[in-house]
Amino acid sequence: MEELCREIALAIVNCAAKNGYIEGQIAVIEELADYEKELFKFMLVETRKFLDRECRQEISGEEIISLFTYVSAKAGEAVSCWVNGQTPEFSSHGMFDGKVPMYSDDKVMAYFKTLELPSDMAKTFSNWCRENPDFCSENHLDPIIPLFEALKWTWRIAVNLTVCLLEKQGFKF
């Protein structure tokens, strides 16, 4: 599965590097990796519930953009919680409507408001889908798999951005 989604992961990471969101290696913090697993399990369940409730099989373009915004905000929130000794609590509020709350340090929130990360990553995902229209059918994959791969890498990039921001403010990891 990971091998199949390598292309979308590379597209996301390459876009992030090109746009200055990544310099060097992405920070890996074990506790944050655990939050990532929890968040993506939660998001998958919530996405399925949302589609069932809406009686649809596909997520709209606006909802995809909202998911990228959601995952970016939740990454910043998770890092802020972690450094403050708190456990992040994930809710589906804002996941599909673009009204994503971010419960975080004021400096982290202000920083994230300046970033184009969610829209850049959503555009990259959209372009990748346009360039690979038969990817899911040819590989017998649910279309949510490449989307969640792109979201996963967006999460990791947003975590890295938050860690770098906090390091610049004097926090030691």
3-state helix, strand, coil in the chain (%, to 5): 65, 0, 35
- Record the tokens describing residue 153, joined without a space: 């890498």
Spatial CA neighbour of 124 closest among 8, 1, 2:
8
- Record the tokens describing residue 117, joined without a space: 């990360």
| % of the chain beyond a pLDDT of 70 | 98
- Other C-beta atoms closer than 10 Å to the C-beta of 155 total 25
- Angle at which helix 106-114 crosses helix 144-168, to 10 degrees, equals 120
What is the pLDDT confidence band of residue 19, given thresholds at 50, 70 and 90? very high
Render pLDDT for 64-106 as a digit per residue (tens, 0 to 9).
Answer: 999 999 999 999 999 999 999 999 988 999 999 989 999 888 8
